[in-house]
Amino acid sequence: MNQYPGWKNALIVFFILISSLYALPNIFGSDLAVQVSSAGDNAISQSDLENIEKILDKDSVDYKSASLSNRSILIRFDSNGSQLSGKESLKNDLGRNYVVALNLAPSVPVWLADLGGKAMSLGLDLRGGVHFLLEVDMQSVLYRSIDKYEGELRTLLRADRLYKSIKKDGESIVINFKQSELKEKALKLIKSEVSDLVVVEGIGTDGLSVTLNISNSAQKEVTQGALKQNITTLRNRVNELGVAEPIIQQQGSNRIVVELPGVQDTARAKEILGAVATLEFRLVDEKNDPQTAIQSGKTPLGSKLYYFKDGRPLLLKNRVITTGENITGASSGIDQENNIPMVNITLDSPGGRAMLETTKKYLHHRMAVVFIENKVETVSVDGVKIKKRSTTKDIINAATIQGTFSNRFQITGIDSSREARNLALLLRAGSLSAPIEIIEERTIGPSLGADNIEKGILSVIAGFILVLIFMVVRYRVFGMVANVALTLNLVMIVSVLSIIQATLTLPGIAGIVLTVGMAVDANVLIFERVKEELGLNTNIQKAISAGYDKALLTIADANITTLIASLVLFSFGTGPIKGFAITLSIGIVTSMFTAIVVSRGIINIIYGDRKIKELSI
């Protein structure tokens, strides 16, 4: 009695060895590092590694090692100062063809890394960096959709001259008709061709007006699409910033969480993440005078008044040749002839065709580049917080078309090299579908992250030791067995977190500390049941067996209910709550295995199939 078959003991030993192996990488710590990767499609080569070593030696930057792996080069440093110096040197000398990012590199031995051993990923609160919570302005998304549908309706109803007038009214479109027959014909056409619009109400005593709104399903689809597009654009921008292992994820229906490990320049990050910028290319109206339009207050038909950044007015044609949506590539540089900042633009096929047709037809005419930026901010008016939206449209330059070109050209008139770099970055990454506002911002320094790790480890150790002491004092030999199981439970938690590469955060450490206290609950229930059985039964072997068997259902009920609660936290929680739920869920599963299966296996080895007179419990 109380003996496991050989295969079960072998299976337990196998799980313990595997857990120990994959938990092992975490004891080696991490090195401060700089990661260099290619900004384009070119692969990093050995020659790049040699060039990087020469740059660091030239600038007298101390580094531990530099190695080539996974299409990137990792340079390890001994101190934070040398790491930052190395990053600046490499960033200045390598240029824009490379992405240089701060990173933490695990010091895992090669043989262990070859077996797939990886250290746990650390969250922002443990490694330092910047956290942003962004809110997407969904009102702007709906307004833009209304503009689109208004244009579609004009095109659709213009052919048969079905409408008298079409105008926007907030988030609605109002159409006026001359006759009721035309109204009915138009409504049938709208229902078949523009099914996303629904009739809200009739306006006017004559019944010749109709108000259309976007349907709820279409609103949901367009807002979700804008949110996903913004996430994609933000991810592209973060990649351009050169941040290793960023976190960009949706939170709720209109918010995005962005975490940038290792980034301390919050001003630069905010400037790039929040910019909702694009370009428009328009022809200059050379037949009319902008000063006359300003004085009269009337702009010529087919033109619109725009301004340079210094306030100079200029009339531009309403027709847009192409926009930032057609831009597939952009890079900043210096015009060698005039020594001024410039941005090299590459357009897609439709944009290139439109530009070629325009430059052929309007050779020696002027074409302007308009920079458009949308912003949203929360302001307080009479104690009430409201969203304030603003759009700026500035002419960057207006140059004469000297020759025909299509999908490759340059734009100048930019104030500084920094502005040129930012504009090129934004155009490469794409424009946001809707303005975003930073509603929460946190910066965690590297030293604070290291302090959080130290305190987190200390809390786990303190809780662990106190539980060990209690179990030994209360249950003697059985308590020592529970302590072995508890130790293995900790090893298994770390092992699983490392294997699945879950991100460990401070709330995750809290989940581990809680698990340490809860893990021995099962053993306490078993040991108390064994004591009861000893009082009822003089056969010690039967008492041990009954104690484990009868306590099993109670243990399962208690742990399953806690597991359900942790899964709910994971499903509906965000950020820190998810981190807590992950470690708690893993801890519950591993603690059941160690407390029930492993501890009984050890008890079987000590007491199983033997004639004993008393138990040390």
What is the DSSP secondary-structure string of 19-47?
Answer: HHHHHGGGGS-EEEEEEEEESSSPPP-HH
pLDDT at 232 over 90: no
In 170-326, which ranges are E strands? 172-176, 197-203, 209-214, 247-251, 255-261, 276-284, 303-308, 313-323
Point out the least confidently predicted range of 226-230, 349-353, 579-583, 609-613: 609-613
Task: Name the band, by pLDDT with cuts 50, 70 and 90, for residue 205.
Answer: very low
Q: Per-residue pLDDT averaged across 227-233, rounded?
A: 82
Give me the pLDDT at residue 42, please. 60
Distance (Å, whole) CA 113 – CA 109: 6
Residue 559 is inside which H or E element, if any?
helix 540-572
- The CA dihedral of 596, 600, 601, 602, to the nearest 10 degrees, is 120
- The total number of residues written for the chain in this structure: 617
Domains along the chain?
6-25+446-607 (1.20.1640.10), 30-106 (3.30.70.260), 139-220 (3.30.1360), 275-442 (3.30.1360.200)
Q: Tens digit of pLDDT for each residue in 67-122?
A: 887 678 889 998 878 888 888 888 888 866 677 777 777 788 888 888 888 888 77
Point out the least confidently predicted range of 189-193, 225-229, 450-454: 450-454
Closest CA to 125 of 437, 500, 455: 455
Q: Tens digit of pLDDT for each residue in 264-278?
A: 555 567 666 766 667
The mean of the pLDDT values for the chain is 82
Q: Is 41 exposed, middle or buried (0-12, 13-18, 19+ CB in 10 A)?
A: exposed
DSSP string of 444-497, one letter each residue = E-HHHHHHHHHHHHHHHHHHHHHHHHHHHHHHHHHHHHHHHHHHHHHHHHHHHH
Distance (Å, whole) CA 170 – CA 213: 10
Give me the pLDDT at residue 140, please. 79
Tokens 């973060």, residue? 238
Residue with the bigger pLDDT between 102 and 387: it is 102
Residue 7 is inside which H or E element, if any?
helix 6-23
Distance (Å, whole) CA 497 – CA 584: 11
pLDDT at 348 over 90: no
Cα end-to-end distance, the chain, whole Å: 19
Whether the CB-CB separation of 90 and 83 falls below 8 Å is answered with no
Tokens of 329: 């590539």
* Maximum mean pLDDT: which of 32-36, 250-254, 444-448, 481-485: 481-485
Distance, C-alpha 566 to centroid of its chain: 23
pLDDT at 204 over 50: no
Give me the pLDDT at residue 492, please. 93
What is the share, in percent, of the chain residues with pLDDT greater than 90?
A: 11
Give me the pLDDT at residue 469, please. 92
Q: Tens digit of pLDDT for each residue in 494-507?
A: 999 999 887 788 88
Give me the pLDDT at residue 377, please. 63
Distance (Å, whole) CA 498 – CA 510: 17
Strand-pairing partners, residue 347, are: 327
Q: Tens digit of pLDDT for each residue in 315-338?
A: 999 888 988 778 777 788 888 777
Instruction: Quote the DSSP letter at residue 287.
Output: S
pLDDT at 425 over 80: no
Instruction: Quote the DSSP letter at residue 325.
Output: G
428 CB-near residues (< 8 Å, 6+ apart): 236, 240, 327, 329, 330, 331
CB atoms inside a 10 Å sphere around CB 464: 19
Q: Tens digit of pLDDT for each residue in 16-58?
A: 999 999 999 988 877 888 888 775 546 788 888 999 999 999 8
pLDDT at 261 over 80: no
Give me the pLDDT at residue 533, please. 84
Strand-pairing partners, residue 560, are: none
Point out the least confidently predicted range of 294-298, 446-450, 521-525: 446-450
pLDDT at 467 over 90: no
CB atoms inside a 10 Å sphere around CB 197: 20
Strand-pairing partners, residue 169, are: 172
pLDDT at 573 over 80: no
Whether the CB-CB separation of 332 and 423 falls below 8 Å is answered with yes
Give the CA radius of gyration of the chain. 34
382 CB-near residues (< 8 Å, 6+ apart): none
Distance (Å, whole) CA 427 – CA 331: 9
Provide φ and ψ at 463, rounded to 5°: -65, -40
Q: Strand 503-504 to strand 121-122: parallel, antiparallel, or no bridges (unpaired)?
A: parallel
Whether the CB-CB separation of 208 and 179 falls below 8 Å is answered with yes
Whether the CB-CB separation of 77 and 107 falls below 8 Å is answered with no
pLDDT at 163 over 70: yes
